[in-house]
Each structure stands twice: as C-alpha cells, then as structure tokens.
Structure 1
Amino acid sequence: MGVRVVDHALRLALPGRCAFCLAPGVAGQPWCSACFETLPWNLPACPCCAEPQPPGALAGRRCGRCLVEPPGFDRTRAPLRYQGEVAALMRRFKFHASPRAGSVLLALFTARLTLEAPPQALLAVPLHPRRARARGFDQADWLACRLARRLGIVLIRARRRRDTRSQRGLDRRERSRNLRDGFVVDRPLPLRVALVDDVMTTGATLNALAVACRRAGAQDIEAWAMARTPG
C-alpha cells in the first residue's frame, strides 16, 4: 500500500491522534504531551547556525565556528534535532512525499516559532528544475508555501544557476565549494527575509542562498529549518 494511501487512511480513521504513538492528541495537535516532551528538541544550540551544543552550554552564545567564520545568515531557527522519531518523520516526508509527515513537521516548527519582527519575505532553498522533475517533489518549496500562507508572508522564489552535485557524502568545505555562486535572486528583496529548508546539516546550502539574498538587497537574514543534524 502506498504512503499516500496510508496517510489518507490515517487522517480518516485516526483524527486527533498522535503521529508518533497514536494516543489521543493534545488540543487538536498531531502529537500527545508525552511524545512532544520527549522529542529531540535542539537545545542548547548556537543561535547563529543552530549547531547542537553539549548539555550545560551557555544559552545564546555563538559557537566557535560562527565566531571565527560567520555565515551569510544572521541566525537560525531549527527547533528539532535530526534524530530518532524526527529523522523517521523527515524521511517519510522527503523521500516518500508524505503530506501527513510534512504537516506534522510544520506544526512542530510553528509551535516553537515566536516572531517579534516577522520577515518580510520567505525564500525556499530551490531545487534545479531538472532535479525537481526527476524527484517529482520539492520539499523546501512545499514547506515554504504553507508557512507563507499560514504566517501571511510573501513568498519569493530564488533559482539555482546550475544543477550541482548532491551534497550527500561531502564534508563541510566540499559542500561550500559545491554551492559557491549556486543561487540567484532575480528581483530586489526587502530588508528582512527568512530562508526555508527541511534539514540543515552544515548550513552550506543556506549560506550560499543567504549570499545571493544579500546581493539582492536583504540585510537581516534568518535560516529556517525543521531540524538540524547533530555534528
């Protein structure tokens, strides 16, 4: 039975159920209180790149890498760590195009989202058109479209200059080289923007997009990811 069929059946048969243990959900959310509390929340983490920090690390302090080599974005919101149930949920969303998994990830992200000065525009990390056609699903664009609609923020699309090789298996420096000058924004941007991706691993992809956004006029740039891969 396909993932889409299973998702549809679950939504019909198990309304208000936790996506992780199928217990009754809390206040209409797709999780129960026990699972929500035990998810791998990304705390403590570097406020700039969201790199998970060891227990006891001072909250709000940038990691050594960001102090020595600041990224192109100013801060990151990545509330979860790519581990355990979150990693399984992400795989169902990214590789099987599961709308239920994507909706749960969005709900978890927005549950921890507080915006004192909301961005004026969202930009998804774009796939190259050839890669998007082959995959049949652009997960970052899917997330960004729904966040933009939910938050009432305009969505602006960037594009890839070339079909870069996959980042999988590359180290931090190789990832940066692979994506250097890899993105372009064809219109002027407002001062405050947020960049949206599903998973942040080293931050190289979001950094490359942030560089393109600064060239287009953005001055305050946030990176938004549903989850952060531990180093």
Structure 2
Amino acid sequence: MSGVDGWLRRALPGRCAFCLAALPGEAPWCAACFAELPWNLPACDGCGEPQPPAQAGLRCGRCLRRPPTFDRARVPLRYTNEVAGLVQRFKFDASPRAGSLLLELLMTRLSADARAWPEALVAVPLHPRRARGRGFDQALWLSRRLALRLGCPLVSAQRLRDTPSQRGLDRGERRKNLRAAFVVPATLPGRVALVDDVVTTGATLEALAVACRRAGAREVEAWAVARTPLHDR
C-alpha cells in the first residue's frame, strides 16, 4: 500500500473517499467512482487540452500552429465535477485529504516509463507575497510528495514579479502577463517535469518552461492533476 493510500484509509477506514461505500480492497476509492471521474480522455499530448473523440491520438490545432515551450503535457483529469471540488478544498482550504487524493489520482495515470523519466521536478512557484497571504502553496505541497514518490530531486524556481491575477485573461494576455516572470537559479539536468495543480491555458507552465530551458533543461514536460476545459474558461 502506498503512503497516500495508507493515510486516506486511516482517515476514512474501509470507505470510498467519494461515495463512502465499503471498500473490499486497498484503493481509497471504489471502482464505480473511479470510473466516473472526469478523465481527460482524449487529450492533446502537447498541451493537455481536452479533445473530441475524433481527435484521439492527435495534437490539437493550436499546438500544430504554435507548439508550446514544453515538449509534452501529462494531465489526467478535467477540472469539473468532483475533481473541481477536490482542487478547491485543497487550494483554498489547504485540505491534506483532498491533496492526497489528487496526488494519488495523478500517480495512477503516470506509467512506469513516465515515473522514471524526470531527472528533476520544478514546482510552479507563487510569489512570496502571495504565498504569505494565502498561507499555502499547493504546487509545492504536491511537488514535494511527488518527488519523494519518484525518488528524484525537487529544484526551486523563483517568481520574479507578483503578476496580476490571470482570471479573465485569454491565452495571449496570460503570456504577456507572465513574460520573464520566472527564473531558475540552479543548473538543471536534461529532463525536467514542471508540476502544478490545474492547467487553464498553459501560459504559466510555458513561461516556467522557458526559464527551465535557460537553466539547462533540454526536455521539459508539464504535469498537473487537472485541465480546465475550454468552454469553462
């Protein structure tokens, strides 16, 4: 049993984390609830954008026209329904139970090859002023535990500017808002995975990927728990 599974089963022994049904096995959820979660399938493997079924296995038109600055996105869930509720409790209420569930859901969708791929993780950083105001850094929380699970180092990035809120901005406005917003003060290894809780347009991860390449990374992947569908932005 994983450490996250053990924590969840101590918190709710023998019960599904979603419907509270009795559980016969070790997983923290029942098979029915797990199957009904809003899985991000199919999705563009370039940016993680949800795609219609006919586009399965293909990159989206936006990635074909302008590939993102990271090489690949791994985002297993869509930010809706139960997942949106979990993210909100984790992000705004600092719920360790919600965070542990999100981490475990992410791990279930990382193949053995994906888990072995990164030579370092980099969390999307909050500006220190915003981190103090919120009192909780959700990307750092996830990244620390993910690094322990994968057995790879976590390298710190810095947000140079306390950028205005991204809410209500389109993709181009978000890119402009985040230009030169990040720096990685250490030299990075060749393969790096960026970690965040939710991807909206991908602009934040793109800006951080640029900083990581400047610090020496040759290949960069973007990892997050959930992606906001286009119609919900």
TM-score interval, normalised by the smaller of the two chains: over 0.9
Is 2:127 aligned against 1:140?
no
Find 1:107's aligned residue among 104, 121, 142.
Answer: 104
String of CA shifts for 1:26-80, please: whole Å, max 9, x gaps. Answer: 6322211000001000000000101000123232x11110111111100011000
Equivalent residues of 1:16, 1:29 under 8 A apart:
no
Find 2:79's aligned residue among 68, 79, 82.
Answer: 82
Equivalent residues of 2:40, 2:78 under 8 A apart:
yes
* 1:87-102 alignment runs, 5 A limit: 87-102=84-99
In structure 2, the residue matched to 1:213 is 212
String of CA shifts for 1:166-188, please: whole Å, max 9, x gaps. Answer: 11111111111100110000011
Structure 1 residues 12, 191: CA separation in 2 closer, same or farther (over 3 Å shift)?
A: closer
Q: Which amino acid aligns with 1:211?
A: V
* 1:161-172 alignment runs, 5 A limit: 161-172=160-171
Q: How far does residue 115 in structure 1 lie from its aligned partner after superposition?
A: 3.9
Is 2:178 aligned against 1:179?
yes
Is 2:38 aligned against 1:40?
yes
Length-normalised TM-score, structure 2: 0.92
Deviates more, 1:157-166 or 1:109-118: 109-118
Equivalent residues of 1:210, 1:221 under 8 A apart:
yes
* 1:23-34 alignment runs, 5 A limit: 23-25=21-23, 27-34=25-32
SS of the equivalent of 2:55 reads coil
Q: Which amino acid aligns with 1:37?
A: A
Distance of 1:96 and 1:140 partners within structure 2: 14
Distance of 1:114 and 1:86 partners within structure 2: 21
Unaligned runs of 5+ in 1: 1-9
Q: How far does residue 221 in structure 1 lie from its aligned partner after superposition?
A: 0.5
String of CA shifts for 1:126-151, please: whole Å, max 9, x gaps. Answer: 00000000000000000000000111
In structure 2, the residue matched to 1:18 is 16
Distance of 1:120 and 1:173 partners within structure 2: 31
Paired residues in the alignment total: 221
Give the % identical residues.
Answer: 69
SS of the equivalent of 1:226 reads strand
